Each structure stands twice: as structure tokens, then as C-alpha cells.
Amino acid sequence: MNLKSLHSVHFLGIGGIGMSALARWFNHIGVKVSGYDRTPSPLTAELEAEGMVISYLDNMQTVPDKVLQDSKNSLIVWTPAIPKDSVQLNYFKDHGFRLKKRAEVLGMITSGMRTIAVAGTHGKTTTSSMIAHLLKSGGKNIAAFLGGLTQNYNSNLILHDEEGDQASVVVEADEFDRSFLHLYPDVAVVTSADPDHLDIYGDDTNMMEGFRAFISLLPNGGNLYIHYKAFEKLGISEAKPWKTIIYGKDKGEVRAENIVAMPGAFHFDYVSSEAKIEDLELKMPGFHNVENALAAISIALDYGLTKSEIRKGLSSFKGVKRRFEIWIQEEDRVFIDDYAHHPEEIRAFLSSVKAMYPEKKLTAVFQPHLFTRTRDFAKGFSESLSLADEVILLDIYPARELPIEGVTASMLMDDIQSPQKSLKTKEGLLDYLKQAKIEVLVTIGAGDIDRLVAPIVNWMKQHENQV
């Protein structure tokens, strides 16, 4: 299929972060783009402003006539997050339209380019964004399809120069629904391999097999950069036709030394058998983000960037929306928002925040994401949240799931060991915060908790003006 010859592409779930990057690519090459999503969002508003036609009603009346009247030259791109009873999805299936999952289309777009694919149950958005930024700032011809909005480019899509040198592309290799098996990686990164998506994989064993299958897509002579914990968990043999580079904060052939946590930034040394770069500054804080940077720097070195170019690129990396995003940093008040939705992500995030502000009270507001994930990792969530001095739980964000009897946010409460803990509604949270003693506040979760960010920021700024 020649994607550039299509006259229309219609997206089911166009507001998803990965789907919207594909939509932007098609729009850029001149293909008419339309789509459906359940609810409006700032991202769908941006897509509409860029000329895409989006509806929030799941019916056929809202689908452009050009799509419906020419199924041969139209493509329907869908995500498994769309419910099975979707009116549009079932119509397209029943009437002979070409349907492709997002990952299939991404694989088709990138199949002719040198591909750097970043996998992992956590860290892939930040790591892929860092790699793309380091290479682009170092003058390399790079494209990127990202799972988050980079602060440097205010987009989840970076376009390469089609007239320039042979381009490389950075893509997120999503393990959900085994999507990453549709890619053609020349370079692979595995940031982590913790159990997740057990509603898809069934158990941890099957999920690890999925990661091994992804790694096996590497060609002879390819490079695998893998965190030491993932390497140990997956049992990868180094006697493979690709080169394996193991990295980690304090273990592996690529390491970080002399890490210093400061408000707003981390400093560290990059150390490997082939290079040492001292006193690097990473303005996207977090011990886990230092580890993500190790993989990105290693790839940048392989692409020929100098130490000076790497130092400058890393220091200028502004981070990714909703990944350790610092909104307020004042002497008496700090507010940080983060996308963490797995116990290990929360543990890494909260331990980093505590290292940055060791003398301040840490209040964490957490919105669990998915009933199945809350059920499967309840004890892990409680343990990781216990790093905070105060924990406030919101109701579970269901996403694509129906409720499960007995699975609620309150099931986490008993095992949370924080001195203060409570359940709150989204509607009542701000009133509570105004009466509470807030020093360092963090909001955590992958649902719609981000819609509380603006009201919290406005309140904190008003508080500053009143002091």
C-alpha cells in the first residue's frame, strides 16, 4: 500500500497521543485527515486548528462523505482502546474498508528509514524524546513519532528533511497489544520490563516473551541498549547477532556517577568504557530520567555527536509534558505533575522528588488508571505511594474498562503507611488543598487528573500574590 497515494485517512481514537502523531504526518503530506474521539481535549483542538475534521459522536453521519464513498482510496486507522461495540468501527469492518492498527501504519511509514525503537513499560516517552532532541540539536536528519508532547518542539511529531541526508526515525515501541512487533528496528532500547497490561498478556511470563520477540526483530549488526534490570529479567544472551549494551544508574557498562539532585535539575557524569562526560546537567529531574539519559547519550555518541554537542543538547532538553513537569517552584510551594501509573514509576518519581526537597512535606494526589491495573498491583501501589508524607486518592479512571466489583481506590488505603491519607473527589480536591498545609504537591496518574493542573496552578499563583 502506497500511503502517500491515499486521498483520505480516518482515525478512530484520533485524540490519543500516538494516533495524533500519525494524523499529523498524513496531514503534513497532504492527505485529508478526519477522525473520531470520545471527548474533546487540548490536543484535539490543536489537530482541528491544523485543518483536521474531528467529531465526538460515534455515528456514521459525522464521517466525511469522501471517506464513505471511496473505500479503496481511504484508510481507517484504529486503536484497541476503541470499544468493540463502536458504531464506526463495526461499520468499517462490515463494509470492506481497509483497517489498520496504529502500530501497523507506523511500521509501514518507518520501514524504509533507519529506525531507533524505544520499548519499556516505563521511560520510553522520555527516552525517545531525549534521543530525538540530542540527534536533532546535533545536526542529524531525524524524524520522531513520540508518545508525549515534547516541550522543545511542542509536538509529538518531529519531521525530517526529505531533501537532506538519509534520515533516521525515533519511535516508541509500545508493548500494549504487542504493537511493537510491527516495527523494523535497527537500534532498540529497552528501558524496563516490569509486569503490566496483564489484561492483554495474561501473565508476566507471556509479557516477557513479548519483549524477547521485539528484541529478536533486530538485524545482524544492530544495537540493543537495555537497562540492567530488564536484561536480568528477560534473560537475554549476549551471544546474539546484535551488540548488547547494558546501562544503569549504578550497574552496567554504561553508568551514571556523582549524581547530585537539585531543585529543578540533576547533575551527573556519564561513564562507559569508551567515554566519560563530566558534570552533565539534566533539567528534567529524576534518578530514572538520569538512566533514560544514559541510553540517549550512548546512541548520540554512536551517531558521532561530540561531547560538547551532547552537553549542550542535554542541557537544552526541556522535557515532556506530564513527565516530571514542574509547574510551580517557589521557596514555600512546589507543584509537579507526572504521568506515572505503575508502582515502579511512582516509586521512581516520589523518591526523586524527596531527594530534591528532603526537608519539605510531600503531598501526593494519585488517580489510579484502569480497574485491572489497580487490582493486579494494589499492594505495589500502596507501598510506592507510602513514600509520600500525605496521600490523597481519587477515584479510578476507567479508560477502556467497565467497573470490576470490589475494585476501587479505597482498596489501596489500608496498606498505605503515610502519616496522612484520605479519599477525595476531583471536585472537592481544590477546596481541601486550600485548607491543608502544602509544601511540595504532586499530582500523579495517566487518566484525566491533568485537568486539575490549571486550577491548582491558578490557585497557587493567587496565593503568591496574596502573600
Q: DSSP string of 275-307?
A: -EEEEEEESS--HHHHHHHHHHHHHHHHTT--H
Please give the average per-residue pLDDT across 9-32, as a whole number: 94
8: CB partners within 8 A, 6+ apart? 31, 32, 33, 34, 64, 66, 67, 70, 73, 74, 75
Please give the average per-residue pLDDT across 422-451, as a whole number: 95
The mean pLDDT value of the chain amounts to 92
DSSP secondary structure of 99-140: EEEHHHHHHHHHTTSEEEEEE-SSSHHHHHHHHHHHHHHTT-
| Helix (H), strand (E) at residue 154 | none
Highest mean pLDDT range out of 69-83, 230-244, 437-451? 437-451
What pLDDT is attached to residue 45?
95
How many percent of the chain have pLDDT more than 70? 96
- Does the pLDDT of residue 84 top 90, yes or no? no
Confidence bin at 239 (pLDDT 50/70/90):
low
Please give the average per-residue pLDDT across 199-217, as a whole number: 83
CA distance 183 to 173: 7
For residue 229 the three cell numbers come to 534490570
- pLDDT, tens digit, for every residue of 365-390? 999 999 999 999 999 999 999 999 99
Q: How far is CA 143 from CA 113, 119, 129, 406, in A?
A: 9, 17, 11, 45
CA distance 374 to 396: 8
- pLDDT, tens digit, for every residue of 153-180? 999 999 988 777 788 999 998 887 778 8
- Does the pLDDT of residue 402 top 70, yes or no? yes
What pLDDT is attached to residue 4?
78
How many percent of the chain have pLDDT more than 90? 77
Q: How far is CA 418 from CA 165, 357, 365, 413, 438, in A?
A: 55, 17, 13, 10, 15
What pLDDT is attached to residue 467?
47
Total residues found in the chain within this entry: 467
What pLDDT is attached to residue 153?
93
- Please tell me the least confidently modeled range out of 164-168, 193-197, 285-289, 379-383: 193-197
What pLDDT is attached to residue 3?
84
- Does the pLDDT of residue 254 top 70, yes or no? yes
Confidence bin at 240 (pLDDT 50/70/90):
confident
Please give the average per-residue pLDDT across 296-317, as a whole number: 97
- Please tell me the least confidently modeled range out of 52-66, 201-215, 307-321, 438-452: 201-215
